[in-house]
A and B are shown apart, each in its own frame.
Chain A
Amino acid sequence: DGGITQSPKYLFRKEGQNVTLSCEQNLNHDAMYWYRQDPGQGLRLIYYSQIVNDFQKGDIAEGYSVSREKKESFPLTVTSAQKNPTAFYLCASHQGRTNTGELFFGEGSRLTVL
């Protein structure tokens, strides 16, 4: 089945460590997104990429980095510079040519800093 796969589902990290969250899609979508969600709150945009080898900062990009070397993959690295990284991270994709806002989401990765 086509979809978006995020891994790992749960991740624990010690302070000062970088961690990379994986996001893979087999929907042949052009655009991919990373959002952060804190408990009881909405989704905030970290980074997005409209095409391979190109990406833009969202509203809360500080302390995060991304790459888009392949169309199917958009990994997110949470660096030690991110002061409060414990959150639920959601990856999404968009076809890019349908002129709608429909995003397809993965099941999320929950990061906890110990």
Chain B
Amino acid sequence: GESVGLHLPTLSVQEGDNSIINCAYSNSASDYFIWYKQESGKGPQFIIDIRSNMDKRQGQRVTVLLNKTVKHLSLQIAATQPGDSAVYFCAENMHSSASKIIFGSGTRLSIRP
């Protein structure tokens, strides 16, 4: 859903540990769910996506889990590194083609040395 009026929650993780970032989405009819990473002062970058007919997808050091029952999405980052420090957003694509793409509220990930 939207993040109007909300400030970003922060997740602090020890370097080398796994990170789990959570997101609740709003529309049970959404077809695609996407995770983006945004570094300070830059535009978001695509990390990984998952289609609504899947419940898990793995990439390089990242895994996305989708639970449609509770409309919950998570991003797992293995062996977190300093370069993973950023704000992470989930997004949902309301239809099967490019249409209204809505972003969630975001989580700031900070890495402890």
Chain A residues near B6 (CB, 8 Å)? Answer: 41-42
A102 lies within 8 A of B100 (CB): no
Given contacts A50-B98, A94-B98, A105-B45, contact A40 B103 (CB under 8 A): no
User: Which residue of the partner chain, among B43, B100, B104, B105, contacts A105 with CB atoms under 8 Å?
Assistant: B43
- Report the tally of A-B residue pairs with Cβ distances under 8 A: 90
Interface range on chain B (Cβ under 8 Å from partner): 20 to 34
A107 lies within 8 A of B97 (CB): no
Interface 9-residue window, one of A13-21, A29-37, A65-73, A76-84: A29-37
User: Which residue of the partner chain, among A30, A41, A104, contacts B8 with CB atoms under 8 Å?
Assistant: A41
CA distance A40 to B34 in the complex (A): 20
Q: Which residues of A contact B (CB under 8 A)?
A: 4, 30-31, 33, 35, 40-45, 48, 50, 56, 58-59, 90, 92, 94-97, 99-108
Residue contacts A-B, CB under 8 angstroms, 9 given: A31-B98, A31-B99, A40-B8, A42-B3, A42-B6, A44-B4, A58-B100, A92-B43, A100-B34
